[in-house]
Amino acid sequence: MLPTRPKEVTLVEVLNRLLDKGLFLKAELVLTLADVPLIKINLNAMISGAETWSNSTIKPDGNADATIKPVVLAKKPVVLAKIAKFTEGKNG
Amino acid sequence: MDPLFPINKDVMEGYYLYCVVETAKQFLQGFLETGVEIIPFQSFTFLVRPVDSLISFDDKQKVEDLVRDHQLVSEAALKSNLPVVPFAVGNIIRGGKSELKTWMKKNYNRLLKNMEKIRDRAEYNVKIFWNPSEYIVQLSKTNMELKLLKEKCQDKQSGAAYLYEQRFKKALEGELENQAVLLFQKFYAKIRNCVTEFVIDKIKKEEGKKQMLLHVSCLVNKDHESILGDILDEIEREGYPVCFTGPWPAYSFVN
Amino acid sequence: MKIDLEEENLKGSVLGLVMALLEIIQKMLEHQAIRRMEGQSINDEQIERLGKALLRLRETIDKIKEEQGIADVVNSIHKQLDSLVDGSLVSYK
């Protein structure tokens, strides 16, 4: 068995390939400020190139057929960004 | 005072490891002048340097100097034609001579295994390139899909022409990539028989017309070096530029 | 995940980041447009409109890059983003 030739992959190529396949994104995001949760986002998204979309049958409830393999990027609640940490009491 | 390794003997931090040479005899070759110490241990001789501070990797210039210094010492050791197991850059054993000897004892078997692996062998680096422009000319005559796309660029309006041109470029890149993979496998198959072990290295995008097809580090028996050289000469004669360097200390094949 | 921006040239760096992202979006749109052409799911008139729009977007980006003198910044950001991908992503088939 021969090895594969390692190719330099760019960000655009990866993104394009993801879109060609299609991806199913499920994420729970919590934005916090100074360690206090303020905004919570529950995300269920199917993202794909339009050609992929028209080539597969995707029902509204999100159950795709076998042509799109779901890629679950984030399962558990994710603290997405601690936007700024203000030291309490110093700036009034 | 060596600016790279300022030594304050009262504040000995440890020993910096360069490499291990398989010889029971101490050999000098001008090392002592540079501050490198030669420490025998069982069937090996260690090349080390006493240092009084740990290495910080923040100063880019210092790191570059360190790497160069490390390579010079290891390559000088290799010139002795004895088996050399190099350490990676930046290893320091903390403590004095006794801690060093304890470490040596503990790692002796591992080093012995490495020594057996590289004995009578050396690391060589092979890069093979091609200039795809000739192949592109050939493709534009023979490949039907590419010809059709190129034609479409001509007789359409500006917007469609732009897209067809992008499509053409994509298809062309795809064909080049396929050919590059084929050539890579062809060359790999040619050289694998005289190579004990391979490490596939990263292929970097070259500026200009040359494109890198293959980049490997090879562990080669010393008596196979000329065979490998002949095969690479043949490949170069077929029109593929080759960069063949070595022998190097076997950094890629020891652990 | 760290992307290096020059402190002295913050305006250029921020603008460079924006243009780099725009370029990525333009390339992705173009790629999907080509896929639709290949799948023959759009007609000639749509192809012409798409091509014009994508070309105009690309020319606008190039013009801004040239006028603001940020072509090098943008290239550097692309290189950093690409090396992130190279290093951390396992090939996804």
What confidence tens digit (pLDDT) does each residue in B194-230 have?
888 888 888 877 667 788 888 999 998 888 888 999 9
Q: Does B159 touch chain C (CB under 8 A)?
A: yes
- Clarify whether residues B139 and B240 are in a common domain: yes
Buried b (16+ CB within 10 A) or exposed e, A54-67: ebeebeeeeebeee
Which pLDDT belongs to residue B199?
87
Residue A8 with chain B: CB contacts under 8 Å: 202-205
The residue ranges of every structural domain in chain A are 11-59+68-74
For residue C1, give the DSSP letter. Answer: -
- Clarify whether residues B135 and B78 are in a common domain: no
Q: Min CA distance, A23 vs chain C (Å)? A: 12
- Clarify whether residues B36 and B114 are in a common domain: yes
pTM value is 0.72
Quote ipTM for the complex.
0.84
Reply yes or no on whether the pLDDT at B135 is more than 60: yes
- Evaluate whether residue B3 is within a structural domain: no
Query: How many structural domains compose chain B?
Result: 2
Residue-number span of the structural domain to which B232 is assigned? 122-253
Reply yes or no on whether the pLDDT at A32 is more than 90: no
What tokens were used for C90? 């396992």
Buried b (16+ CB within 10 A) or exposed e, C51-86: bbebbebbeebeeebeeeebeebbebbbebbbeebb
- Residue B99's alpha-carbon distances to A16, B46, B92, B96, in angstroms, are 55, 14, 11, 5
Which pLDDT belongs to residue B10?
53
What tokens were used for B1? 């005072």
Give the strand pairing for B211-221 and B197-200: antiparallel
The single residue listed with the structure tokens 């040479």 is: B21
Q: Min CA distance, C2 vs chain A (Å)? A: 15
Q: Min CA distance, B159 vs chain C (Å)? A: 4
- Clarify whether residues B68 and B185 are in a common domain: no
Q: Does C87 touch chain A (CB under 8 A)?
A: no
Reply yes or no on whether the pLDDT at B78 is more than 80: yes
For residue A16, give the DSSP letter. Answer: H
- Clarify whether residues B115 and B139 are in a common domain: no
On whether the CB atoms of residues B61 and B67 are closer than 8 A, the answer is: no
Reply yes or no on whether the pLDDT at B5 is more than 60: no
Residues B188, A3: C-beta atoms closer than 8 Å: yes
- Clarify whether residues B86 and B176 are in a common domain: no
